[in-house]
Structure 1
Amino acid sequence: MSAARFLVSGRVQGVFYRASTREQAQALGLSGYAKNLPDGRVEVVASGEDAAIDALERWLWRGPMAAEVTQVTREHCVAPDGDGFRTA
């Protein structure tokens, strides 16, 4: 088990990015959250199997149909408390 924090830039707010990320993360068996940041980015924290986190990262670059992702940064982090994946 590991955890990663992603910061996603581009047109990622108001396009169902967080809800779609939650669906993808749940399908991959990940725990964590996705939340909007005041600067227009979305923060995603995910914990679980390394391969599942890597798969989520690939999906974050695409996002839902209306999104226009310009950058995804990744850093290691401490796994968030709790089970499941939520939006904030």
Structure 2
Amino acid sequence: MKKTVDIVVSGLVQGVGFRYYTTKLANQLLIQGFVENVPDGTVHIVASGEAIALNNFIQQIAASPSPYSKVTNIKTHYTTLVVDNGFYVKY
């Protein structure tokens, strides 16, 4: 069953390739949605996919997908937002 999750990631996550590696991971797991930097230094992700793939995605995001990033906190909230247009970096 397809679900959508809203994720806010804190830590050293801007300027270290975090969005690039998140996009790469999402494409590998067939996750759709977007990732964007937020002015407060966090990264916001909206991800939609099968429950198993989403759980895997969240676990790998929490473990810092970029070798240069350091995730210190991750907040998730499931939503009814529909995302079905690939995965991209939102500017």
Query: What is the TM-score normalised by the length of structure 1?
Result: 0.94
| Residue 41 (structure 1) shift | 0.2
| Residue 6 (structure 1) shift | 0.6
Deviations 1:48-75 (A, max 9, x none): 1001110110111122111011000100
Per the alignment, residue 36 of structure 1 pairs with 37
Amino acid in structure 1 at the alignment position of 2:28: A
Per the alignment, residue 45 of structure 1 pairs with 46
Gap runs ≥5 in structure 2: none
> Percent identity, aligned pairs only?
31
Aligned structure 1 segments of 4 or more residues deviating by more than 6 angstroms: none
Per the alignment, residue 23 of structure 1 pairs with 24
Number of residue pairs matched by the alignment: 88
Per the alignment, residue 75 of structure 1 pairs with 77
Cα RMSD for the two superposed structures:
1.0
Assess if the C-alpha contact under 8 Å between 1:46 and 1:79 holds in 2. Answer: no
Per the alignment, residue 14 of structure 2 pairs with 13
SS of equivalent residue, structure 2 residue 11: strand
Gap runs ≥5 in structure 1: none
> In 2, distance between residues paired with 1:19 and 1:62?
15
Assess if the C-alpha contact under 8 Å between 2:48 and 2:83 holds in 1. Answer: no
Deviations 1:19-47 (A, max 9, x none): 10000001000100000001000001100
Query: What is the TM-score normalised by the length of structure 2?
Result: 0.91
